[in-house]
Amino acid sequence: MPENLPAVSFDGRRNLLADCANCFALCCVALPFTASKDFAITKAAGTACPNLRKDFGCGIHADLRQRGFAGCTSFDCLGAGQRVSQTTFGGRDWRAAPDTAGQMFAVLPVMRRLHELLWYLSEALTLPSAVPLRPAVRDLRDRIEGLTRGTPKELLAVDLAAQHDEVDTVLRRTSELVRAGVPGRRKSRRKADLIGARLRGADLRGADLRGTYLIAADLTDADLSSADLIGADLRDARLHGANLADSLFLTQPQVNSADGDAATRLPAILARPAHW
């Protein structure tokens, strides 16, 4: 496709949506959690959740939040679960092939991190303002996609920090290009502590909110068009009526952890959480 086109027609993020039906419930076993407001119990990594059924379904899926497992409804593997289950381990589940269990559980967080990087890079390829960076972005995306096809041993040897740093450099430049087109000058709030902040109706168009702590912040009716939200902590943030339809680098886990409503505007690629 010629690089002077304003956007790409294919959104690679659609291949990074979670498909629990093709996963061996890896998040319910591989990952640990501690008794808190998000989890009713403490569970060690590599230990199956007591609510896990033999068919890899959840015995309390319809009532997770009511039963004290809100953390489960916030988590999203970005498609890493089915990739590890069906591709990396060729459809062999950890119950039928227990010798693969330890390695399978160790690979999951690596694959999820790679898929997260792929999510951001795939979004960057859809942004008209970032066309000049498209060749570099595409090269990085293809290279990381290649890493996801590695063997378990190869995946566990991936230097995630190095991959993150390289991707982050390109994403920062992408963000700057997009936000430069937003009218007015926006103060950077990168990594700022805005926990519980009153931002009702705030004009946050084009804001740099990378890594910003927005836990329990009131963003009711706020406009976050073209705001960079990569790594922003939106746990319990009130997003009622907020406009995030064109925000940058927003992920499903961030949305799941927030408090929104039917009037919250989200990017088309993301699902509106059932608990909103």
Q: How far apart are CA 176 and CA 42, in angstroms?
A: 42
pLDDT at 113: 98
Residue 212 lies in a domain: yes
Q: What is the pLDDT of residue 8?
A: 52
For residue 27, the model assigns a pLDDT of 97
Say if 8 falls within a structural domain. no
Q: How many CB atoms lie within 10 A of CB 165?
A: 10
Sign of CA dihedral 56, 61, 65, 71: positive
pLDDT attached to residue 105: 98
Query: How crowded is residue 110: how many other Cβ atoms within 10 Å of its Cβ?
Result: 21
**Residue 260 maps to a domain:** yes
What is the rounded CA–CA span in Å between residue 165 and residue 157?
17
Residues 26, 118: one domain? Answer: yes
Q: Is 121:137 a contact under the CB 8 Å cutoff?
A: yes
Backbone φ, ψ for residue 159 (5° rounding): -85, 90
- 161 and 206 in a single domain? The answer is no
Q: CB 11: neighbour CB atoms within 10 A?
A: 15
Spans of the chain, pLDDT less than 50:
1-7
Distance of CA 8 to the CA centre of its chain: 21
- Cα angle for residues 231, 232, 237 (degrees, 5° grid): 145
Task: Spell out the alpha helix ranges (H) of 190-232.
Answer: none
What is the CA angle 214-216-221, rounded to 5?
80
Total domains in the fold of the chain: 2
- Write down the pLDDT at residue 201: 98
pTM value is: 0.94
Based on the domain organization, do 87 and 151 belong to the same domain?
A: yes
The residue among 157, 179, 201 that closes a domain is: 179
In a domain, 242, yes or no: yes
Number of alpha carbons in the 13 Å side-chain half-sphere of residue 3: 9
CATH code where residue 220 lies: 2.160.20.80
Please tell me whether residues 158 and 216 are part of one structural domain: no
Shared-domain flag, residues 24 and 137: yes
Same-domain check for residues 230 and 256: yes
Let me know whether 191 and 172 are in one domain: no
Q: Are residues 224 and 145 in the same domain?
A: no
In a domain, 190, yes or no: yes
Judge if 115 and 230 occupy the same domain.
no
214 domain-assigned: yes
Q: pLDDT tens-digit profile of 106-154? A: 999 999 999 999 999 999 999 999 999 999 999 999 999 999 999 999 9
Say whether both 115 and 19 belong to one domain: yes
Same domain membership, residue 174 and residue 97: yes
The per-residue DSSP string of 4-24 comes to: TSSS-S--GGGGGS--GGGS-
82 with 168, same domain?
yes
Domain-located, residue 42: no
Give residue 86's domain range: 15-31+75-179
Task: Please answer whether residues 77 and 115 qualify as being in contact, where contact means their C-beta atoms are separated by less than 8 angstroms.
Answer: yes
Residue 59 forms part of a structural domain:
no
